[in-house]
A and B are shown apart, each in its own frame.
Chain A
């Protein structure tokens, strides 16, 4: 059978197939769309025949392009719905966190140890903190937490400020989470840097206000959103470290393959981190700056910590492994 015979014989089926694929691509599959899988398999056989019979590139290229079109239509992924999202929050994310418990401890240590160390150092010697913050940093802290009354609430008096600050926190903090994750590609160094840097800087800020500012204004402001924001950052660091460790210690896989596998495992972590940081932005935007009794604000902060720790350790325990 020559090329021409082969084409003549199958021309009609190919035209029919092209019509079906085109309708699918336009998003208007007709009533006969159910025939597409069969037509697709037929076309695959035609392509295989054309390849093995050496019918030449003109024909194989054409069939190849058509098979790719159909393949992309038939193997499209279904959109994830709300149930999927709810399942992720209730089961997938906490399970992923517990699966990576070693990284959870490591990243927490990398963040909290310098935080506490720098904060405590302010009591003995303020020079460290001054060197870390710099004059601009100290001026900014004075502006926000320096005086007697609640300056943050004053800054938020104009209409719409809360919403603006919420959007600013989303853009800034979630962006930092994503960069912390991406930094993991540098063998984990980028993620470690972000965690360490933020630990030192925030520790310095807290230490400075404790020593030279109005600690109550500071701690009542940060208490509400701190658990979500800080742990969100730590979790983003975990996601980055997962990538970095895959490059450093790929085990028995080739490095590229280990990286792809690690990215799959890191995905729930970075999504969860973004959610936590988003939640923190809501709290920071609409709650933290409200003029309310200090006791209530500290209470909300403690409740946040308890809730998060309970969520991390208990949620999704009774359900089977969601990642399988």
Chain B
């Protein structure tokens, strides 16, 4: 998992404008692979979408679990069959096979955890594109369409192609149901800030929220990179800092420092300073 590859991409990349998700406006996150979704509560949450490899692993685990269940059931029912007749037992096994094939993922994903056992083991979860838990109907649609995703010959070629062609790694069933598979727990990304410069430098131009965030993240993670890598990244934003190389890095740091300083002191007593949700 390499989540934050291009921390300054937002400074210069012309991202797409907000596009319509299934119900709410879902903005495309330009800084990294996280998906920003705005909740009715007015706050933006970030979902980390899971890629096809991990999902293939979860599918393999589910296949294994179902296989073991079928084998154990066959042995148990085979013994029972001596008592009640082989035909009844064969029928029950056929029924179990049908249910495991079509309804195993539906029942688990429509349940409280929103994940099949395999997905749970790997820390995944199915949610609506808006971040809320999926409905039973959505679980049915996404899993009944699994058959097309599995084409051709159960290689999951169609599903893989669809995953790679969509921004949120959605297979065809996901597209029809309006669902995404996300990491249930987002592990915090490593951050190690470089020492702050002594004098903050005001921003020469106004930046958008995304761009400001990219700047601040650059500062927060600068400690993780070598000096050369830092300069390489800072050079992408030399239009902003007006310098390249090491002076460019420290100028960007100073600007990030200024931004955080200003925002936080405004937060302490300014317009939106006091806690709005006092008891």
A residues apposed to B, CB below 8 Å: 1-3, 9, 27, 40-42, 44-45, 47-49, 51-58, 61-62, 64-65, 67-68, 71-72, 75-77, 80, 158-161, 163-168, 170-171, 174-175, 178-179, 181-183, 185-186, 190, 243, 254, 256-257, 259-260, 262-264, 266-267, 270-271
B residues apposed to A, CB below 8 Å: 20, 22, 39, 41-47, 84-92, 94-95, 97-98, 101-102, 110, 112, 114, 125, 127, 131-137, 140-141, 144-148, 172, 175-178, 185-186, 188-189, 191, 212-213, 216-217, 220, 259-260, 263-268, 272-273, 275-277
A174 to B110, CA, bound (A): 21
B88: A residues at CB distance < 8 A: 159-160, 163-164
Most buried by B among A56, A68, A179: A68
A85 to chain B, nearest CB (A): 11
A56 to B213, CA, bound (A): 9
Task: Name 23 interchain pairs, CB-CB below 8 A, sorted by A.
Answer: A2-B264, A42-B277, A48-B42, A56-B216, A64-B46, A67-B45, A68-B186, A71-B132, A75-B132, A77-B133, A158-B85, A160-B89, A161-B87, A164-B90, A167-B91, A170-B94, A171-B97, A171-B101, A175-B102, A182-B145, A185-B172, A243-B176, A267-B141
Q: Are B140's CB and A267's CB within 8 A? A: yes
B43: A residues at CB distance < 8 A: 44-45, 47-48, 51, 67
Known: A1-B264, A264-B137. A175 touches B191 (CB 8 A): no
Q: Are B267's CB and A53's CB within 8 A? A: yes
A243 to B265, CA, bound (A): 54
Main secondary structure of the interface of B (DSSP, over half): helix
A186: B residues at CB distance < 8 A: 148
Q: Are A260's CB and B191's CB within 8 A? A: no
A64: B residues at CB distance < 8 A: 45-46, 186
Q: Are B42's CB and A58's CB within 8 A? A: no
Q: Are A182's CB and B148's CB within 8 A? A: yes
Known: A2-B264, A65-B185, A257-B20. A174 touches B178 (CB 8 A): no
Known: A53-B267, A54-B260, A182-B147. A71 touches B98 (CB 8 A): no
Q: Are B264's CB and A171's CB within 8 A? A: no
A92 to chain B, nearest CB (A): 12
A315 to chain B, nearest CB (A): 21
A234 to chain B, nearest CB (A): 17
Q: Are B148's CB and A190's CB within 8 A? A: yes
A88 to chain B, nearest CB (A): 11
Most buried by B among A27, A51, A260: A260
B185: A residues at CB distance < 8 A: 65
A267 to B89, CA, bound (A): 32
A198 to B55, CA, bound (A): 35
Q: Are A263's CB and B264's CB within 8 A? A: no
Residue of B nearest to A59 (CB): B188
- 13 new A-B contacts at CB < 8 Å, known A71-B45, A182-B144: A52-B267, A53-B264, A54-B216, A54-B264, A56-B260, A58-B191, A62-B188, A77-B136, A171-B94, A178-B144, A185-B176, A243-B176, A260-B175
B106 to chain A, nearest CB (A): 11
Known: A54-B260, A61-B186, A68-B47. A44 touches B41 (CB 8 A): yes
A2: B residues at CB distance < 8 A: 264
Q: Are B272's CB and A52's CB within 8 A? A: yes
